[in-house]
Chains A and B, each alone.
Chain A
C-alpha cells in the first residue's frame, strides 16, 4: 500500500480516508458538543414560558426575529434552546440503552456461541421469543401502567433491544471458538473466563460496535416515537419527539413547527447510521483478506 509510511494504525487511517465515516463523525461530534455545552450556548432557558410571544417564526421567515433564531413554540419557549437541550435527551437515551442492551445481548450471545449445546439452545430460544414481542407496543403498555419517566424509557428499551447484540455476538464467537489462538490459550491452561474476556471479547468488539451504532439509532428513533405518542419522556422535557407531538396541532398553519425538531432527529440518526456503515465496510474488507 502506498500510504504505508504514514503514522497511525492501518484501521484508523482507513477510517479517516472514508468519506462516510468522516461525515458521520462530524454530525455525531457536533451533536455531542452541542449537548455538552448546552447551558453555555443555549440563548434562553428552554423551560421559560412567554405567552406574549407564542409561535414566532424562525428568523429567515416573515415575522421572524434574530432574537429567536428558530422561532418560539406554542408556549413562547425559544425553539433553538429547546432543540439544544433536546440533544442531551436523545444522546443519553441512545447511549444508556446501548450499554444496557449491549451487556445483556453480548453476555447471552457469547455464552451461547462459546458453549454451544443446551446453553446455546436456551440462548436461541430467548432470542426467538424476544423477536416475537412487538417492542413499541410493550414499551407503551409498560409506560401506561407504571407512568412515564426518563429512566423508564431507558430501562424498557435497554431490556428489549438486546437481540441483535446476542445474534452477532453468538455467531462471531462461534467462528472464533475453533481458531488456533483460542485453542492455544485453552491448551495453555487458561480458565473459561480468561479465554472469554481476553481472547473472544476483544476480537468481536468491532462487530459489536457496528451493532451498537444501529441500536443507538433505533433507540433514539423509538424514544422520539414513544414521546410523540405521549408515553415516553414526560413534558416539559424538550425531547425532540415530544416537541413534534406538542407542535402537531399547529402544523397545518405553521409547518415549520414540526420541521425543526424532525430535521434534527433525522440528521442525528443519519449521522449515527453513517458511522455504522463505515465500520461495517471496514470489517468487510478485513474479512475478505
Chain B
C-alpha cells in the first residue's frame, strides 16, 4: 500500500478523533460509576474527582440493597430473557431451516410474511396485545412477556439464520439422507452445530432489546411480583430523586452486569455485525 494512505499526521488525526469520541461515549458511564462510591458531600463537592479513602462511601449501595427488591427483579429479567431467547433461537432456526432447505408452494410468500415483523414494530399492536393477555388471564405473568418477546425476536432471527443456513453444504445433508437420517436428525445433528456462530450473533441481537425493554413490562407486567430490572430501576429512581447516593448506586448496579456481559461477548457481537449478518 502506498505511503499516501497512512501518513503520520493522518494517523494522529484519526486517533485524536476516535479518542475524543471514545471519551464522549464512556464519560457519562464512568462518572456515574465513580461517583456511586463517594459520600454525599464529595458527590456534590468534586463530582469529577475519583473517590479517595476519605470520600469513599458505600452508603448508596447499602440503601439500594436494603430498600429495593433488586435481586428479585433481576431474577425476573433473567427468566424472561433466557426463556425468550431459547424460544426465539429454537423456533427461529426451525423455521429458517424449513424456508432455506425445502422448496414448497408459498415458500417465498412465507418468508416475506415472517420478514414483515422486522420493519413493523410489535409495539403498535400493544392495545390488542393487552386485550389478548387480559382475556387469557396472562396479565402480570412472566409468560406474557416471554410470548411477546418471542414474537418480537422471531422475524429477524428467521431472516438472519436462513441466510446462514443456505450456506450449509447440500452434499452433507444429502449424505445424511442416504444414510437414512430423518429430516429432524439432519436439522438437529448436522445443521444446528454448523450454524452455531450465527446463532450466537442472533442471540446477542435478540437479548439486548429484551433486557432493556421498558414498554411491555410497564404495560403487561407492572406488578411487584413480575417487575423486570429495567422497570424496577425506573420506579426506584423515580422514588429516590433526592437521594443521590442511592440513585448513583442503583444506576451502577444496573450498568455493571450488562457491561460485564458485553465485554465478554463483544468479540462475538462485532464479528456478527461485520460478517454481514445484518444486510
Answer yes or no: are A and B bound together in one complex.
Answer: no
